[in-house]
């Protein structure tokens, strides 16, 4: 009986962390897409960003929603620490670029410090083996605006300059996700010669 209960607990933990098949040592799928920083859209390329150091690629369900607001704000508050460790940050969601322009500039959330990328069809999220759910009819964001897009599961990948995944983080609360991401990039920075 104890084994059955323990197996159920373990299964619950793994189901919370998502079904991300990409793990440490796997090659991170390259992607290019439209992104926004401080309310301005630009062309983003993971390959180009990796030329400057590790990249924290964090997938989140939707801009202007509870946990996503906390996560974006926590990344923004800690932005200088990530930069000091040589890492950049890119958030990825199925939001339109118009929503992301607002989100990236909002002083309560991305605060013009964190770039967020649009993955409108979920293709990027799926390339990282993340589950993507369809939009829920009638769902509204924290501003009362309808959410008309699907949702990727909240999972963060720390990608090293060589394009390999250093860590996959899922099943954490939004602020804990950022804290753990920072610990990992700081450890990577400490290992550099």
- pLDDT tens digits, residue range 133-157? 988 788 888 888 888 899 999 999 9
Spell out the domain ranges in the chain: 21-191
| pLDDT at residue 51 in the model | 97
Choice among 1-5, 15-19, 29-33, 51-55 with the minimum mean pLDDT:
1-5
Matching residue, tokens 């104890």: 2
| pLDDT at residue 2 in the model | 39
| pLDDT at residue 136 in the model | 78
If one compares 7 and 126, the residue with the highest pLDDT of the two is 126
pLDDT at 74 exceeding the cut of 80: yes
pLDDT at 174 exceeding the cut of 60: yes
Q: Is 68 a catalytic residue?
A: yes
| pLDDT at residue 185 in the model | 97
78-91 pLDDT, tens digit each: 999 999 999 999 99
Phi, psi (deg, nearest 5) at residue 93? -145, 175
Query: What are the b/e assignments for 160-172, b being 16+ CB within 10 Å?
Result: bbeeebbbbbbbb
Pick the CATH number of 21-191 from 3.40.30.10, 3.90.550.10, 3.30.750.24, 3.40.190.10: 3.40.30.10
Q: Exactly one of 68, 76, 130, 184 is catalytic; which is it?
A: 68
If one compares 16 and 93, the residue with the highest pLDDT of the two is 93
- Which secondary structure element, helix H or strand E, spans residue 45, and what is its range? strand 40-45
DSSP 3-state of 34: strand
């Amino acid at each position: 009986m104890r084994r059955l209960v323990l197996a159920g607990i373990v299964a619950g933990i793994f189901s919370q962390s998502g079904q991300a098949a990409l793990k440490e040592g796997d090659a991170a799928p390259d992607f290019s897409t439209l992104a926004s920083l401080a309310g301005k859209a630009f062309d983003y390329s993971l390959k180009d960003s990796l030329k400057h150091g590790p990249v924290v690629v964090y997938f989140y369900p939707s801009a202007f929603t509870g946990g996503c607001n906390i996560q974006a704000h926590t990344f923004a508050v800690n932005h200088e620490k990530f930069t000091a460790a040589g890492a950049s940050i890119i958030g990825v969601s199925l939001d339109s670029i118009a929503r992301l322009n607002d989100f990236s500039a909002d002083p309560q959330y991305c605060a013009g410090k964190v770039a967020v990328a649009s993955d409108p069809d979920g293709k990027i999220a799926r390339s990282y083996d993340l589950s993507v759910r369809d939009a829920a009819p009638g769902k509204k964001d924290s501003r009362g605006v309808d959410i008309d897009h699907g949702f990727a599961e909240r999972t963060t990948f720390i990608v090293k300059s060589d394009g390999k995944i250093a860590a996959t983080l899922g099943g954490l609360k939004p602020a804990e996700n950022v804290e753990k991401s920072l610990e990992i990039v700081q450890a990577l920075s400490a290992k550099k010669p």
